[in-house]
Amino acid sequence: MAIDMDKLNAFIGQFVGDLGAAVHTGMVVIGEKLGLYKALAAGPMTSRELAAKTATDERYVREWLSQQAAGGYVTYDETSHKFSLSPEQAFALVNEDSPAYLPGAFQLALGSLAAVPRITEAFRNGAGMGWNEHDEDVFHGCEKFFRPGYAANLVNAWIPALSDAKQKLEAGARVADVGCGKGASTILMAKAYPNSHFFGFDYHDKSIANARESAKRAGVADRVTFEVAKAKAYPGKDYDLVAFFDCLHDMGDPAGASAHVRSTLSKDGTWMIVEPFANDELKDNLNPVGRVYYGFSTLLCTPCSRSQEVGLCLGAQSGEARIREVVTSAGFNHFKRATETPFNIVYEARP
C-alpha cells in the first residue's frame, strides 16, 4: 500500500507532541512537589536564583526550566536569560484555588500510569483493580484535579440547577455525598450551607481518614461526618440530597447503588449525579476530552468496577442514555440533565 507522506508526517508530528506530553507529566509533578512554580511566580529569575530559592540543585533546575519553556509552561527571555511565569501560566500552575489549577491532573496521570503493568495483565485475565489498590498519587491527584472544578461550579451553578435543592440546603438539609473520596465536594457544600448536615461515604478507608482531617482543618467537622461505607450499604434515611461525584461509573453495581439511593432518599429528595462529560455514541467522544477520559477509564474506572460485584463497567464515557437506564431501572421516575460543563454532566434524579 502506498504511504501518503503528508499524512505520515502529520502523524509523526502528533507523536512528537504526545511523547513530549507523556514525559511532561513527571516534570509538572516535580515542579509542584518542589514548589518550583510557586517560587517562580515571584518574578523573572535564572536557574541559579530559582535553585537557591527552593534549596534545589541548579543543574537539575536548569534542565527542568528548559523543558518547561520548550513546552510553554514557563516563559524564557533570551536577552536576560531569565525564566518567569506569565499571569496565565501562574493562574493555572500556582494558585491551588484557581478553577484552572492543572498540576493535580498530572499527579493523577502519573499515579494511574503506575498501574500499567497490572492493567496489562488485566487485559489478559480480565481481573479488576480496586480504587484502593492504586498508587497514593491517584487519590491526592484526583482531589487536587477535581476540587477546583467543584469550587468553581458546585455551589454557584450545579446545585442551583437542581429543582429545589438550593432552598433546602439553605434552610437546613441532610445530605449524603457517596463515593466522596477525600471529601472535597462534601466540605465545599458544608462551608456554603451552614444550616445543613453532611455525611460523606466512600469504600476507601485512607480517603475517608484524609477527608476527616480536611474537615477539621476547614472548621466544619461539627456538621460533617465521614464514614467508610459502600454505595449499596451506606447508613441513614430521609436524605434531602444524595450526591455522587464522578463515581457512579466506577462502581461494580451502579444499578444496586441506585436502588440503595432510592431507599435512603426522602419522598421529595433529589439525587445529584455528576459524571464525566460524554456523548452516547463513541464517534462523538473521539476528541481531546474523550481521549483523556478513555485513558483514565482504562486504567482506573473500568478496573475499579470490574473489581466489585456485578462488574458492570460503565466506563467514564458511558453517556446520558446508559446513565438514565441504570438510574430509572432502580425506580426513579424523573431523570434529567440539569446542567453541564465541558468536563462534566450533572444529572438530577427524583423518585
Ligand X SMILES: C[S@@+](CC[C@H](N)C(=O)[O-])C[C@H]1O[C@@H](n2cnc3c(N)ncnc32)[C@H](O)[C@@H]1O
Positions touching ligand X (CB under 6 A) are: 131, 142-143, 146, 179-181, 184-185, 202-204, 207, 230-231, 245-247, 250-251, 304, 308
Q: Give me the torsion for CA of 210, 215, 218, 223, rounded to 10°.
A: 170
C-alpha–C-alpha distance, residues 108 and 299, integer Å? 11
How big is the CA angle at 106 (ends 125 and 58), to the nearest 5 degrees?
Answer: 125
Q: Which CB atom, from 41 or from 310, has the smaller least distance to ligand X?
A: 310
Q: How far is the CB of 117 from ligand X (least distance, A)?
A: 21
Q: Which CB atom, from 4 or from 309, has the smaller least distance to ligand X?
A: 309
C-alpha–C-alpha distance, residues 228 and 202, integer Å? 5
**Burial (Cβ within 10 Å: 0-12, 13-18, ≥19) of residue 81:** exposed
C-alpha–C-alpha distance, residues 351 and 331, integer Å? 7
C-alpha–C-alpha distance, residues 251 and 245, integer Å? 12
Q: Which CB atom, from 28 or from 314, has the smaller least distance to ligand X?
A: 314
Residue with smallest beta-carbon separation from ligand X: 181
Q: How far is the CB of 184 from ligand X (least distance, A)?
A: 5
Q: How far is the CB of 149 from ligand X (least distance, A)?
A: 9
Q: Which CB atom, from 244 or from 332, has the smaller least distance to ligand X?
A: 244
Q: How far is the CB of 108 from ligand X (least distance, A)?
A: 9
> How many C-beta neighbours within 10 Å does residue 175 have?
26
Q: How far is the CB of 342 from ligand X (least distance, A)?
A: 17
Query: Grid coordinates 465536594 are at which residue?
Result: 185
Q: Which CB atom, from 148 or from 181, has the smaller least distance to ligand X?
A: 181
